[in-house]
Amino acid sequence: MSNVDLDEIAKFEALAATWWDPQGQSRPLHQINPLRTDFIQHNVGGLAGKQVADIGCGGGLLAESMAMAGANVTAIDMAEASIQVAKLHALESKLNIDYQQVTAEKLVANQAESFDVVTCMEMIEHVPDPASVIHACADLLKPGGWLILSTLNRTFKSRMLAIVAAENILKWLPKGTHDYDKFLKPSELLQYTDEKALQPKQMKGFRYNPIKDSFSIGNDVDVNYIVACYKPENVSNA
């Protein structure tokens, strides 16, 4: 529990009822979820049959997408209400996903080097120690596995779009959802992955088009960005 911010958990507990409303406050996540899933599939060589851990799963949007792609998914979050929503929706969707209310650091104690793929999307900017989460994610991976991370870059552009626009103008998210000082520059994130000897293979960014009201993925990483890192076969937690 040392790497849990209870105020941050409370924010997402309050959003739990809207996770699966594509027109609600989780709308941006619904819009980028296919892009995230395609990015993961492309980098890891497909998800079918792979053991996957989704860290900070929220209501299960990505977890369900990966399960539908054939992955065996374990998904964790510390917001109890979000986990309950995720479990109920998976039941309705007839998907077998192992949802747990536990931290990444705690999961490592029981399932180190158990997963082919670990995903952690839009979560590390909400914990006191992002390095601890990233290190735990790396330790969950089997040698030869893949870590997929996404977060917000700490730039003027991200402040304007992710906070001023998304929270104050478009009202996509409640005010105070994001703390600009907790955003991570790619160089900072890659320092944490390098500490676990992971190799970055691809980095892309998400861009919103207000005219089309849609997101696309490309090379602009000034706001939201996503990174695929590989754990070499000769790298072990031991």
- Give SS3 for 28: helix
Rounded Cα–Cα distance for residues 83 and 63 (Å):
11
**Strands 141-152 and 98-100, bridge-based pairing:** unpaired
Tokens of 141: 């991976």
Q: Which amino acid is at 6?
A: L
Find out whether 78 is annotated in a ligand binding site. no
| Annotated binding residue 56 | yes
d(CA 183, CA 223): 10
CA torsion angle for 213, 39, 98, 144 (degrees, to 10)? -160
Residue 207 in marked binding region: no
Give the total residue count for the chain: 238
Strand partners, 203: 227
- Within 13 A of 211's CA, how many CA atoms are on the CB side? 0
Q: How far is CA 163 from the centre of its chain?
A: 18
Q: How far apart are CA 71 and CA 3, in angstroms?
A: 28
Residue 121 is assigned to a ligand binding site: yes
Binding residues: 36, 56, 77, 121
Binding residues for S-adenosyl-L-methionine: 36, 56, 77, 121
